[in-house]
Amino acid sequence: MKIINLNETVFRPGEFIVGADQTGSHACYLLYGILKPGETRALSPGHGHEEIFCCLEGEVIAKADSDENPVKKGQCFHMKGEDSLSISNECPNPVVYVLAGGHSDSSHHGERAHHSGHGHSD
Return per-residue pLDDT of the chain as tens, 122 residues. 989 988 888 888 889 999 999 999 989 999 999 999 999 999 999 999 999 999 999 999 999 999 999 999 999 999 999 999 999 999 999 999 999 999 987 545 444 333 344 444 33
Report yes or no: 121 and 21 within 8 Å, Cβ to Cβ: yes
Q: What pLDDT sits at residue 13?
A: 83
Q: What pLDDT sits at residue 106?
A: 58
* 23 burial level (CB within 10 Å; 0-12, 13-18, 19+): middle
Q: What pLDDT sits at residue 19?
A: 92
pLDDT digits (tens, 9 = 90+) for 85-101: 999 999 999 999 999 99
* 3-class DSSP state of 49: strand
Q: What pLDDT sits at residue 7?
A: 82
State the pTM of this model: 0.82
Domain ranges of the chain: 6-103
User: Looking at the domain 6-103, which fold is it?
Assistant: Jelly Rolls (2.60.120)
